[in-house]
Structure 1
Amino acid sequence: MQRNRFLSDILSTLFDRSSNLPKTQDARDIYALCRALLSEEGEVSGQKLAATVLARYRGLSDAHKLAFFQFLNDELDIDAAALAPLTTEYAAKPSVAGFKRLSHAAEPKRQELLRRLNQPVGATEELVSMRVDLLELVRDNPELARTDLDFVHLLRSWFNRGFLVLKQINWDTPARLLDKIVAYEAVHEIDDWDDLRRRLYPPDRRCFAFFHPAMPDEPLIFVEVALTEAIASSVDDLLSDAREPLTAQQAKTAVFYSISNCQRGLKGISFGNLLIKQVVAELSLEYPNLTHFVTLSPIPGLNKWLATQTNDEAIGPAAQTMLEGTATAEQTRAMAARYLITAKRPDGKPVDPVARFHLGNGAEVHAVHANADSSPNGRAQSGGAMVNYLYDLSKTEHHHENFALRSVVAASRSTLALSTAPFTTKSKEMTP
């Protein structure tokens, strides 16, 4: 991690400035300011105009924010009438000049506005927050999704892998960042500072986060890792305050037990696959004794799926017992395996979002576990069941290709066998 820390410190020094954008006394409304920013005036004094627009936006009411996004969506859209003849012209004669005219006409003016708004210090964070507002409004105003596509297009460019910095979060990390780790934890809630210390301080615990140099104090995504001797089967055991820590050198397995996205405004911009792969690379270099890289993941859609299976002749009784909380451990494991392997969307991909994420990264469904998460959330979403996804570095590329092109769910033999285990209709137990 030392080489990444050096780069990280340099970038943080360069970009660690206040994100409070200056206020100005320009009397024009926000629409006139946006038009000015897109004009020659904006080319001359763009940073000042952009800061004014962003400051003005922060003061808008919810109704005026809706009007602002409607302005972006309608008045700064593509001019389809102008685009059509340019497309015909370029199809007939694909010249450089024709391509330039076509490209200019094919890009909505709001994309250029967003680029120019991103000039002042702190503007990137402001635009990420602006997209949070937009996502809320899209629910009741679906036509605004056109503008959201432009946000996503630009944010993917601004937040590509080349700009991301990996940092290790530990007990010596500044308290302002630790507070955010507590607040952003989305999988296994952090109860208090003692709980956080148990996840960061022991020698067999790690936490890594991606940062962007324009937002040095805001983690984008982080992963919590437990270094263990064997593949973990219970998050209750991993997070127990009574456990005996290992030395890092004793560990044979790295268990990724929590991955949390931190910025709602970056929804749809994927960092998780990059984070896992880089953390695997970092840990492999630091601890060559590690032989397995696995997750211990929730199964968030299991109980919802079970509720749709209660009338199924083959598995209905077992589904009902799971929903009632009276299923055996073996039934729980079998139903979880069946769900992960066979429950599919119309496009052939798994129903479960966590499964889609890890399988898409090239992992395989390695093992399912009953009574692995006794928290209220764990019981509510999966009856306490959890799953290991195994990252076998020699197979991830092959698994990813099979999943992406053919929707093949890679799984261990034991999990595949569990997923097809028969159930009797008169007993709560599986038939042998």
Structure 2
Amino acid sequence: MPSLRTLDSYLKEKFGMWLSPATLELHQITWDDPASLLEKIVAYEAVHPICNLLDLKRRLGIGRRCFGYFHPSIPGEPLIFIEVALMETVAQTIQEVLWDNPPIPENQATCALFYSISSTQPGLAGINLGKFLIKRVITLVKKDMPHISTFATLSPIPGFMQWLLSKLSRFAENERSTQSNSPSSTFSEKILLPEEEQGLMSLDSSSGGNGMEVLLNLLSVKNCEWATSPRILPVLEPILMRLCARYLLQEKKRGKTLDSVANFHLQNGAMVERINWMADR
């Protein structure tokens, strides 16, 4: 209804004004904050769940920072918060960040790694508070620690597997339609290189000579056996890395990167530096 669209547009404009950076308070969240606030951080963490109090204490301790935006109208309620790791180099796995090893002395850090950002209010989904928060935190860290020269994010790529499985499923469906001589209206694309096809067929030749179906079967298994197989991993790694690069850099929707997380960071001024293989075990 036109009247509801008008109301929706009006409310979004008002929320954008009420929640501008000038009206928000930036607060560094520490272990000394009230228990009620720390409980909310645990509950709202949306990227890497906080396992227990020890995990929370580590994320707020030496070599780590947590910052949140608050509004004076709802004190004690973070609208969005970001977790930062101070490191010597950009981590290649999230396990390095989540305390596989003790933290380095903060004066040795040259990199501030943003590894988790969580918005707490679903009703504010259209307001890009993350953009303002990241830029404020970068400015603050630069001021407090001039030796930090690299700012990076270690991000998941949530849409990649869904995109890839969709491509593989369409191809398999089209192949079955061709074999049964029934017309198929589904557009399909063969996304494998000849050498990748051969490598997949060497893993499973019982699929009828189709590397796409072998790949689909491997990735569709719920227990992800391929992720720990010394026989399968060397074949899959170059395939998945190449296709992931294509997904991040070439696949678009309305001129924007298809992946929601990548699109968020790229719109805020980041660039794709590298893809980390098996970055979250």
TM above 0.5, yes or no, is yes
Give 1:319 deviation, angstroms: 5.5
Q: In 1, distance between residues paired with 2:244 and 2:34? A: 40
> Structure 1 residue 300 and structure 2 residue 130: aligned?
no
Correspondent of 1:216 among 61, 67, 75: 75
Q: Normalised by the size of structure 1, how large is the TM-score?
A: 0.51
Give 1:166 deviation, angstroms: 0.8
> Structure 1 residue 349 and structure 2 residue 207: aligned?
no
Counterpart of 1:364, as a letter, is: M
Correspondent of 2:24 among 161, 164, 167: 164
Partner SS state of residue 278, structure 1: helix
Offset from partner CA, 1:257-315 (integer Å, 9 cap, x none)? 00000111212011111111111111111111112100000101011100122123233
> Structure 1 residue 227 and structure 2 residue 73: aligned?
no
- 2:115 maps to what in 1? 257
- Aligned positions, number: 231
Q: In 2, distance between residues paired with 1:159 and 1:314? A: 44
Q: In 1, distance between residues paired with 2:243 and 2:154? A: 17
Unmatched segments (≥5 aa) in structure 2: 172-188, 193-210, 227-232
Give 1:225 deviation, angstroms: 0.4
Correspondent of 1:187 among 47, 53, 56: 47
Counterpart of 1:255, as a letter, is: L
Counterpart of 2:153, as a letter, is: T
Q: Check conservation: 1:303, 1:323, Cα contact below 8 A.
A: no
Q: Check conservation: 1:329, 1:371, Cα contact below 8 A.
A: no
- 2:203 maps to what in 1? none
> Structure 1 residue 244 and structure 2 residue 102: aligned?
yes
Counterpart of 1:236, as a letter, is: Q
Q: In 1, distance between residues paired with 2:148 and 2:220? A: 38
Partner SS state of residue 308, structure 1: helix
Q: In 1, distance between residues paired with 2:123 and 2:165? A: 32
Partner SS state of residue 113, structure 2: strand
Offset from partner CA, 1:109-134 (integer Å, 9 cap, x none)? xxxxxxxxxxxxxxxxxxxxxxxxxx
Offset from partner CA, 1:319-351 (integer Å, 9 cap, x none)? 634455435333332222111011111x12111
Counterpart of 1:163, as a letter, is: T
Q: In 2, distance between residues paired with 1:319 and 1:336? A: 14
Q: In 2, distance between residues paired with 1:255 and 1:330? A: 26
Partner SS state of residue 92, structure 2: coil
Offset from partner CA, 1:217-244 (integer Å, 9 cap, x none)? 111110000011111111122113x411
- 2:197 maps to what in 1? none
> Structure 1 residue 314 and structure 2 residue 191: aligned?
yes
Q: Check conservation: 1:319, 1:335, Cα contact below 8 A.
A: no
Cα gap change, 1:352 to 1:319, in 2 (>3 Å) = farther
Q: Check conservation: 1:211, 1:219, Cα contact below 8 A.
A: yes
Partner SS state of residue 304, structure 1: helix
Q: In 1, distance between residues paired with 2:65 and 2:247? A: 31
Counterpart of 1:339, as a letter, is: Y
Partner SS state of residue 240, structure 2: helix
- 2:179 maps to what in 1? none
Offset from partner CA, 1:126-155 (integer Å, 9 cap, x none)? xxxxxxxxxxxxxxxxxx444332221211
Q: In 2, distance between residues paired with 1:268 and 1:168? A: 24
Bigger Rg over Cα: 1
> Structure 1 residue 365 and structure 2 residue 272: aligned?
yes
Q: Check conservation: 1:221, 1:260, Cα contact below 8 A.
A: yes
Counterpart of 2:107, as a letter, is: Q
Q: Normalised by the size of structure 2, how large is the TM-score?
A: 0.77
- Considering Cα pairs closer than 8 Å and 6+ residues apart, tell me whether 1 or 2 has the greater RCO: 2
Q: In 1, distance between residues paired with 2:96 and 2:5? A: 44
Q: In 1, distance between residues paired with 2:215 and 2:245? A: 13
User: Percent identity among equivalent residues?
Assistant: 42
Q: In 2, distance between residues paired with 1:323 and 1:285? A: 48
Partner SS state of residue 367, structure 1: coil
- 2:184 maps to what in 1? none
Counterpart of 1:297, as a letter, is: S
Counterpart of 1:331, as a letter, is: I
More helix by share: 1
Q: Check conservation: 1:253, 1:291, Cα contact below 8 A.
A: yes
Q: In 2, distance between residues paired with 1:238 and 1:209? A: 19
Unmatched segments (≥5 aa) in structure 1: 1-72, 78-143, 375-432
Counterpart of 1:294, as a letter, is: A
Q: In 1, distance between residues paired with 2:94 and 2:124? A: 28
Q: In 2, distance between residues paired with 1:207 and 1:341? A: 30
